[in-house]
Structure formats: C-alpha cells, structure tokens
Chains A and B, each alone.
Chain A
Amino acid sequence: MSDKIPLSRLINPKKIAVIGASNSKGKVGEIIFQRLLESRRRLYPVNPNEVVISGIKVFQSIEALPEDIDLAVITISAKASVGAVESCAKKNIPFAIIVAGGFGEIGEQGKLLEEKLKVISKEQGIRLLGPNSLGIFLPDENIDTIFVEHGDRALDPGGQVVCIVQSGSVGVEALGYASNTGFGMRAFIGLGNKCDLDEIEFLRYFGNEEKTNCLAFYLESIEKGREFLETAKKIAAAKPVVVLKAGRTETAISAVSSHTGKLAGSDNVISGAFKQYGIQRVYDDEEFCDASKVLSMLPAAPGNRVAILTAAGGYGVIATDYVEKHDKRASLKMAELSSDTKQQILDSTFPFSACNNPVDITASADDRMFQESLQTLIKDKGVDIIICIAFFAPPGITENLIDIISDIIENSVKPIIVFTKYGPFTNNCLRNFFFAKVPGFPAIGRAVRAARFLVERAEIEKKLSQE
C-alpha cells in the first residue's frame, strides 16, 4: 500500500510540518524551520512550548495539525521521534524525515528504537527517510532541510545531478565542493540509516525524472544488491549512474578454502558487478563530485583520442603523461593531428608554436589565438576529446577566454574539459567556468580523469544499447 504514495510529495511538498520547530537560536528545530521559511511552502511548526515562530502560529501537538500535511520533518531527539512518527502516522501524514541520530548506529538500545520505526512504517504506511538523515535539499524547489552548514550560494537552479548519500559528512563535503567550484545539483538526499526509504526508490524516482541527467550515490551498504543493480542498469541505459561504495564487507564464507574465495574480497566482486550493470565506480568524495559534474555537463566521448591545447608548455607535457598512463577505467591516447590542423594552428598563432599534440601556443598567445586553435582542433577528425589548459597569466589571455570556450562548447559534440589554476582565485575561476557551462578542474590529473569518465560512459552506452 505504502509504495503507492508518490515520492513527489516528499520531494516537492506543499505543506510541511516541522516537529520541534523552535525560537531558540542554534537548535536543530530552529535552523531547519528558518531554512524552510525560504521555501515559500505552507509551514506548520509543532512545539508545545512555543506560540509563534517568525510570525507563524505554532501547533501544540501533532494531533492538532490539519489533515493534509505532505511531509513532517522531525527535529527532536531519537527517543521522542518514535512517538512523533506514530502520531504522524495516525494523522495520515505520508512522509517523515527523521533527523536525529542515536539509532542503529549507536548499538543495541538504538537498534530497538529503529526497529520500532520500521514496525510503525510497515504497519501504518507512513514512509520514513532516515533516521540519522541529513535531510533533503532541492535548489529548484527551494526545499532545504539540512541543518548543518553547507554552502549553497554557487548552486544554480537548473542543476541536473542527484546525490543520494548514506553518510552525513561525506554528503556535506560534496555540497561544499559543489558550492565552491560550481556544480549543478538537482537534489541531495540524505538516506541515513535507511529504516524504510532506500537508494532503490530514489534511483527509480530520479532515474525516471526529466530534470535529472546523472545520479551519484554514496553507499556503505546495499541490502538489496541485485535489485539495486538491475534497477541501475535500466536507468544507466539513459543516464550515468555513479556509485561510491565504501566499506568492504567480509566474505560470508567463514572458512575460505578456495583460491577464488581468497582472491575475491567483496571489493573485486563489486567492481565486476558494477561493470556488468553499467555503473561507474568511484573511490572518494573528490572522484564522486568530479565524475558526476563532468557526466552531467558533457556528452559521452565519441572516442578516446585526446587533444591538449595549452599556453603553458609544462602542463601540456604533464597532461600527456596522464593521458598515456595505463588506467583500468578507460584507456586514452594522444590524438594524431592532421597536417591541415597543424598548418591552420601555425597560421593563426606563431611559427614557433608546437603543433604536435600537445598543442602549445606559448605564453605569447592571446584570446583570439586560443579561440581559433580550439576551433581548428574540434574540426580534426582524429580528435575525440579536447582538454584546454586555461591559464590567465599570459598577458594576452583575459577572462574573455571563459566565454570563448563556453560558446565553442555549446556547439560542439566533442567534449571539452578545462584545467585551470589561478592562485587564490582558482575556485572563483572554476565557478565562472561552471556558470558558462564549462566543466573545469583545478588539477591536470583530474581533468584527464574526467575525460576517462566520458570514455567509460560511452562504453557503457554502447554495451547497454546492445543488450
């Protein structure tokens, strides 16, 4: 029965009750209520010890609430949360987010409380997110129930990445990264202890939603492993699915006597399974954000031949080393440029430019030269991906380069990735690139790795389309 309530009432609620809303500065119930004030939804604070919060009438009990609440955000202690969930269920509130920790993650006593939540949800049909959930955050819907500090000023509306995370801190760091360097977030979901709603339901919901074009998961456990994989495979045929799976579970075989068992660990099995089902595996928060950012912003690569365009020679050489390095994710190679391409670049730059890939147009280059060289590289049939090393130190290169690359990227089927560094202004520069719809990275290794994600994605698209 409960499965039939559409998740949209959680994701885009019209009427939100905040259990434990408060006037006391710094309390979780105060922070969340203030955040939700900006949502322009109808809010129903519940607290027997308050009368008015920010000009809104406070309800003395859950029982006193009106009938058609979509979502209850429960900000009170673990123990009190259980009773609150029960009252919300009686009130036919379809969804509740339980913010408090102190459940299954702290031991036996907490497990008992969590068990109670499961029973209430199962028997009465209320759907629960958490406990120990960081909450939900949807920039487009103005919904934010995350009580910890997270920068969000740089998060543009219209973002298309959904981050679904099991851990609070990893999630918050991902938000921080997103905020600092530019990242298009469609939704952020803190799964917490997953006593009811789990990754599969959000995978299905956002996988089939038009506003989402990439799904990224941080998971410590995958209880329904095969079901998750099967669902992910269906979604991955159309949209990239990225998973950071942490915590190697122990092999259940108590006494592993076979060679195979000794070689397995569960990590190798997971890597193999992810490949089989079209999931792109990442190993830390940085890779998690880099992968979802580039996969959301750029199409899969048409091939694996990389051209590098730089005005800083040294980085061009380092980039070449990175491209040619063996990597299990996807192999890249340096594109061989046609003689026409080389001639055109020489014509539009200097006779002393280095035109064998990497293309080094030297520190004497200016914006126009960069632009024409980039346009020439895109036209070369032997080039699939272009990495631009965009440095603003050369006197002829200005911030107009951001718009130049942006214009070219808009009309290019070939992915263009930027590596930029600008001393203390690097993050600001990355944000400006992001606002111009150009994916930028502050390290050359990360820019090359981003290219690998796009090649890996192309292989997945090919594989899944043939199945």
Chain B
Amino acid sequence: MKKNIESWIESLEIKDMPNEFEAKKLANLYGITTPENVILTPQENLDLSKMTQPFVLKVCSPDILHKTDQEGVVLNVSINDAENQLTAMRQRFPGENILIEHQSDFKAPEFILGVIKDPALGHAVMVGAGGIFTEIYKDVAFRLAPCSKKEAISMINELALAEVFHGFRGMNFDEDRFAEIISQVSILAHDMGEQLSQLDINPIVFSEDKWVALDVKIILETK
C-alpha cells in the first residue's frame, strides 16, 4: 500500500471507519476537488469568518450513510442562520461531529463515481448518472481498476448522459478532466488494494468550470 494511504488510515478518528471529512481528505490526495469545509466536534464553537456563504450543514458520522433520508443535511444556510441551524442539527444528532461546507453552485445533471470489489475480478470503477435517483436511472458504466483516462472516456460515452459533454442544450461539461478524475479514482482503488470495500462519490458536479465532489463515502474492510 502507498505511504500516503497508510498514514491516512492511521489518522482515522475511528479505526477503519472514515467519516465524510476524512474521506474527502483522501479524495484531495488524488487531486479531486471538494468544497471548502470545516468540521466541528460537539463542543467546538462556530467560526465561519474565513468561509463563503451559502453553507451546507451535514452530520458527519460513519454510522449514517444516507444522511438525506435522516434530515442530516441542511442546504442554503446563510451566515446569519448558521448558528441556529447548527444548534438544531446538534439536537437531532447529539454527540456527532458536524461538517460545514461552502455550498457549490452547479447545473444538473449530477454524476456518480464509485468503486466496488467484484468477487472474481477485483476492484471496478463506475461512472453514472448521480444524485438520489441514480438507482432508478441505472445509467452507469464500469471498468476494472486501474483504468486509463482513455478508457474512462469510453465509459463516459457509454452513458445516456454523454450528450452533456458534447453540446446538448449548450452544455459542454469538461470531459477530459472528468476522465482524469475517473482514472484517478481507479488508481486510488488500486493503490488501496484489498482494504477498500466500496467507495461512492455522489454527487460529483460541474461547478464553475471545475469538477467538485460534494459527497464522498469510503467503506473499508473491517478486519
């Protein structure tokens, strides 16, 4: 395993159970942009002076995988409302850390990137239509990890959504950079080896000419 991954695993607050904040840190190591953020333990005070509004507040616990379903995400929070929302969130999730992020502005569609471990073939990387309806659309493409950027481009072009990279309604999402990110995710999986069970980046969006991973989940094999 690579050094950077080893030290990342050692740094986890709860052994083998990375939270969203930590998962995003790992994504950053592989060149994947995430929104500017700050994490607050239950006792810490709020200081947003260095961040840009609007904000999104998220409960940050490895036990809560589908935050949206449990009111663990609050969107469009202004600087004036932040303190109140934080208090309310802490009441819903006592004892949990809260992640506060700048809320990126983006246009649909959202994408999903992921990794699974196939019993016969090992790690596979996936790209597809993201967001909360991803399992309804099932517009996805897979390749084995590691996969080249060129292969990633062929994955993108397998999607029904591929049109948004090629001028559909004036949309020209950055295909080249997106393919690079897919390839990076597959390299991450390859570097991490056996210990990586599943990874979800959902959604990843094209925001102000950049790809931004709004949510990252990593599930490790527990020994």
Interface residue ranges, A against B (CB under 8 Å): 221-223, 225-226, 229, 249-253, 256-264, 266, 268-273, 275-276, 328, 463, 466
Is the CB–CB distance between B119 and A271 below 8 Å? Answer: no
Partner of A259, one of B118, B150, B202: B202
* B134 on interface, CB distance cutoff 8 Å: yes
Chain A residue contacts of B56, Cβ below 8 A: none
Chain A residue contacts of B1, Cβ below 8 A: none
Chain A residue contacts of B217, Cβ below 8 A: 258
Is the CB–CB distance between A226 and B116 below 8 Å? Answer: no
- A302 vs B23: C-alpha distance in the bound complex, in angstroms? 47
Is the CB–CB distance between B202 and A273 below 8 Å? Answer: no
Is the CB–CB distance between A268 and B200 below 8 Å? Answer: no
Expressed in whole angstroms, the minimum distance between the Cβ of B205 and any Cβ of chain A is: 15
Expressed in whole angstroms, the minimum distance between the Cβ of A245 and any Cβ of chain B is: 10
Expressed in whole angstroms, the minimum distance between the Cβ of B22 and any Cβ of chain A is: 16
**Further 9 A-B residue pairs, CB within 8 A, beyond A226-B144, A264-B142:** A226-B121, A258-B217, A258-B219, A259-B114, A260-B199, A262-B135, A263-B138, A269-B116, A275-B143
Partner of B198, one of A249, A256, A270: A256
Contacts A259-B202, A261-B198, A262-B135 given; does A272 touch B116 at CB 8 Å = no
Partner of B124, one of A221, A256, A262, A269: A269
Expressed in whole angstroms, the minimum distance between the Cβ of A60 and any Cβ of chain B is: 46
* B117 on interface, CB distance cutoff 8 Å: yes
* B126 on interface, CB distance cutoff 8 Å: yes
- A260 vs B219: C-alpha distance in the bound complex, in angstroms? 12
- A263 vs B139: C-alpha distance in the bound complex, in angstroms? 9
* B112 on interface, CB distance cutoff 8 Å: yes
Is the CB–CB distance between A258 and B116 below 8 Å? Answer: yes
- A258 vs B220: C-alpha distance in the bound complex, in angstroms? 12
Is the CB–CB distance between A263 and B121 below 8 Å? Answer: no
Closest to B139 in A: A263
* B16 on interface, CB distance cutoff 8 Å: no
- A466 vs B150: C-alpha distance in the bound complex, in angstroms? 10
Can you list 19 contacts pairing A with B, beta carbon distance less than 8 Å?
A225-B120, A225-B122, A249-B120, A253-B116, A256-B198, A257-B219, A258-B200, A259-B112, A260-B112, A260-B114, A264-B118, A266-B119, A268-B141, A269-B121, A269-B144, A270-B121, A272-B144, A276-B147, A328-B158
Expressed in whole angstroms, the minimum distance between the Cβ of A179 and any Cβ of chain B is: 34
Closest to A328 in B: B158
* B82 on interface, CB distance cutoff 8 Å: no
Partner of B121, one of A225, A259, A262: A225
- A141 vs B120: C-alpha distance in the bound complex, in angstroms? 36
- A260 vs B216: C-alpha distance in the bound complex, in angstroms? 12
- A233 vs B222: C-alpha distance in the bound complex, in angstroms? 34
Expressed in whole angstroms, the minimum distance between the Cβ of A256 and any Cβ of chain B is: 7
- A229 vs B124: C-alpha distance in the bound complex, in angstroms? 14
- A412 vs B128: C-alpha distance in the bound complex, in angstroms? 41
Chain B residue contacts of A466, Cβ below 8 A: 150
Is the CB–CB distance between A272 and B124 below 8 Å? Answer: yes
Is the CB–CB distance between A271 and B142 below 8 Å? Answer: yes
* B140 on interface, CB distance cutoff 8 Å: yes
Is the CB–CB distance between B118 and A252 below 8 Å? Answer: yes
Q: Mark B65-94, 1 if CB is under 8 A from A, else 0.
A: 100000000000000000000000000000
Chain B residue contacts of A275, Cβ below 8 A: 143, 154
Is the CB–CB distance between B117 and A257 below 8 Å? Answer: no
Closest to A466 in B: B150
- A221 vs B115: C-alpha distance in the bound complex, in angstroms? 22
Expressed in whole angstroms, the minimum distance between the Cβ of B112 and any Cβ of chain A is: 6
- A223 vs B134: C-alpha distance in the bound complex, in angstroms? 31
Question: Which interface residue of B116, B143, B198 has the most chain A CB atoms within 10 A?
Answer: B116
Chain A residue contacts of B126, Cβ below 8 A: 260, 263-264, 268
Chain B residue contacts of A249, Cβ below 8 A: 119-120
- A275 vs B128: C-alpha distance in the bound complex, in angstroms? 17
Contacts A260-B126, A263-B128 given; does A272 touch B155 at CB 8 Å = yes
Q: Mark B152-167, 1 if CB is under 8 A from A, else 0.
A: 0011001000000000
Is the CB–CB distance between A273 and B143 below 8 Å? Answer: yes
Is the CB–CB distance between B119 and A260 below 8 Å? Answer: no
Is the CB–CB distance between A257 and B114 below 8 Å? Answer: no
Chain A residue contacts of B154, Cβ below 8 A: 275, 463
Is the CB–CB distance between A264 and B119 below 8 Å? Answer: no
Contacts A253-B117, A258-B200, A275-B154 given; does A264 touch B124 at CB 8 Å = yes
Expressed in whole angstroms, the minimum distance between the Cβ of B18 and any Cβ of chain A is: 13
Partner of B135, one of A259, A266, A272, A273: A259
- A326 vs B150: C-alpha distance in the bound complex, in angstroms? 23
Closest to A272 in B: B142
Chain A residue contacts of B141, Cβ below 8 A: 268, 272
